[in-house]
């Protein structure tokens, strides 16, 4: 029932306003006169009805002009008190409604000022205009209490509305932040999986292509070596399938027991990587400077993937069969440099639309390091990555 009335009031605001004005006219007019008769004989309708109608009609503008409506209703109440009406809650009903609306819409200090001004106008007028010896508590305490009550109620309502609005704003902000954070994490995870897929697929396919080309050439000149190279090619494709399955397993659900649990590759697998590249005709020289230190799993994987991608680019783009890797361990940094001595060529990314250099740079920055890549003046290409060592 309550919800029905609220819905009706929302759908028919003008009907509700008219009903309120009519009820207040009856309350502050005839009912107020009836309540005052025991204390004041001789009061008639002529002085009650115009003041009640004027005060109640002013309430129609209480939302657009709350200050003016308080003044008008207070003047009407003071005039009624001045001609002898007893200041009952019925007589003060329009003023109370106006003060309540003012307290809901204006700050506490402004509302309190209007309340004190209305009280200062109504109460003295009732005292000095009393021609029927009304009991003094009814002409002082009663109107003061009636004028303060709507101010308190309106202030509480205003604070409650402000609190609910603040709670709703915080909830909306938290929801937006949560959605943005979720989208950000999804984007980061997609980029991480994309880098893994690129490194795995690009490296192994480039290596398999080189091995297949070499095997095709040796099949005509040296069948025995070609057979050995085909064995290495099978091992390369098998390794590619295993790493591809492990990477795609990142897309599985967390409770999927079929997801691979193999450890991520790191610099400990560097000898296997160089040996595999040697079968494709790339001679890799590895130099280690400084005392080797353990790396965190993320930095270890980043270092391995950068070396792997750089060497893959050498096999695909450089007109050379040799490359050098230098690992320089410092107290808190690891510097990786991969170089080749090929004839001057454009950067690998300029020869196509690959994402090798972009992926290496993203990996280095994600690990808190720095990345540089570019052609050497004397020919060839250099890739340098500076990564933090986390103990």
Residue 82's beta-bridge partner residues?
none
The whole domain housing 109 covers 2-139
pLDDT tens, residue by residue, 35-61: 555 554 555 555 667 777 777 778 888
Domain boundary among 139, 170, 201: 139
Q: Is residue 50 in a domain?
A: yes
What is the pLDDT confidence band of residue 328, given thresholds at 50, 70 and 90? Answer: very high
Domain boundary among 89, 123, 139: 139
What is the domain count for the chain?
Answer: 2
Give me the pLDDT at residue 259, please. 46
Q: Is residue 48 in a domain?
A: yes
Q: Is residue 188 in a domain?
A: no
Q: Is residue 342 in a domain?
A: yes
In this model, does residue 246 exceed pLDDT 50? yes
What is the pLDDT confidence band of residue 325, given thresholds at 50, 70 and 90? Answer: very high
Instruction: Give per-residue burial for 241-272: e unless 16+ CB within 10 Å, then b.
Output: eebeebbeeeeeeeeeeeeeeeeebbbebbee
Q: Which residues contact 45 (CB under 8 A, 6 or more apart)?
A: 29, 30, 33
Q: Is the CB of residue 62 less than 8 Å from the CB of residue 69?
A: yes
Residue 254's beta-bridge partner residues?
none
CA distance 137 to 129: 15
CATH of the domain at 352: 3.30.565.10
Q: What is the mean pLDDT of residues 1-23?
A: 62
Q: Is residue 321 in a domain?
A: yes
In this model, does residue 290 exceed pLDDT 50? yes
pLDDT tens, residue by residue, 119-178: 888 888 877 766 666 677 777 788 888 888 889 888 888 888 888 888 888 888 877 777
Q: Is residue 121 in a domain?
A: yes
pTM of the model: 0.46
Long-range contacts, stretch 244-253, CB < 8 angstroms, 24+ apart: 244/197, 244/200, 244/201, 247/193, 247/196, 247/197, 247/200, 248/197, 250/189, 250/192, 250/193, 250/196, 251/193
For residues 104 and 53, which has the higher predicted lDDT (pLDDT)?
A: 104
Which tokens sit at 262? 């193999």
Element (H, E) at 377: none
Q: What's the mean pLDDT when you consider all of the chain? A: 76
Domain boundary among 85, 119, 139: 139
Give me the pLDDT at residue 349, please. 45
Where is mean pLDDT largest: 40-44, 60-64, 95-99? 95-99
Q: Is residue 261 in a domain?
A: no
Share of the chain above pLDDT 90, in %: 5
Identify which of 287, 289, 279 has the alpha carbon closest to the alpha carbon of residue 307: 287
Q: What is the mean pLDDT of residues 230-257?
A: 62
Q: What is the mean pLDDT of residues 15-31?
A: 65
How do strand 322-329 and strand 283-289 relate by DSSP bridges? parallel
Q: Is residue 207 in a domain?
A: no
Give me the pLDDT at residue 351, please. 42
Give me the pLDDT at residue 107, please. 84
């Amino acid at each position: 029932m309550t919800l029905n009335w609220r819905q009706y009031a929302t759908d028919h605001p003008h009907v509700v306003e008219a009903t309120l004005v009519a009820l207040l006219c009856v309350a502050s007019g005839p009912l107020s006169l009836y309540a005052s008769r025991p204390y004041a004989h001789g009061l008639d309708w002529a002085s009650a009805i115009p003041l009640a109608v004027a005060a109640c009609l002013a309430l129609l503008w209480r939302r657009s002009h709350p200050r003016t409506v308080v003044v008008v209703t207070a003047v009407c109440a003071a005039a009624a008190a001045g001609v002898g009406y007893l200041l009952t809650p019925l007589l003060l009903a329009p003023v109370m409604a106006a003060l309540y609306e003012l307290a809901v819409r204006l700050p506490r200090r402004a509302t309190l000022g209007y309340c004190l001004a209305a009280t200062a106008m109504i109460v003295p007028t009732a005292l000095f205009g009393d021609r029927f010896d009304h009991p003094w508590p009814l002409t002082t305490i009663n109107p003061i209490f009636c004028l303060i009550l709507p101010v308190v109620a309106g202030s509480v309502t205003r604070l409650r509305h402000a609190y609910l609005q603040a709670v709703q704003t915080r909830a909306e902000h938290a929801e937006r932040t949560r959605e943005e954070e979720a989208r950000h994490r999804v984007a980061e995870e997609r980029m991480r999986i994309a880098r893994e897929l690129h490194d795995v697929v690009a490296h192994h396919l480039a290596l398999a292509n080189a091995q297949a080309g070499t095997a095709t050439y040796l099949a005509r000149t040296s069948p025995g070596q070609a057979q050995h190279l085909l064995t290495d090619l099978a091992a390369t494709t098998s390794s590619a399938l295993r790493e591809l399955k492990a990477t795609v397993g990142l897309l599985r659900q967390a409770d999927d027991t079929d997801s691979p649990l193999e450890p991520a590759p790191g610099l400990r697998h560097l000898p296997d990587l160089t040996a595999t590249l040697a079968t494709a005709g790339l001679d890799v020289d590895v130099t280690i400077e400084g005392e080797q230190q353990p790396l965190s799993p993320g930095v270890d994987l980043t270092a391995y993937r950068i070396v792997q991608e750089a060497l893959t680019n050498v096999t695909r783009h450089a007109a050379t069969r040799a490359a050098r890797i230098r690992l320089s361990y410092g107290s808190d940094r690891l510097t990786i440099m991969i170089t080749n001595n090929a004839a001057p060529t454009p950067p690998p990314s300029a020869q196509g639309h690959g994402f090798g250099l972009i992926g290496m740079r993203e990996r280095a920055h994600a690990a808190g390091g720095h990345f540089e890549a570019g052609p050497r003046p004397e020919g060839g290409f250099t890739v340098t990555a500076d990564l933090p060592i986390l103990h």
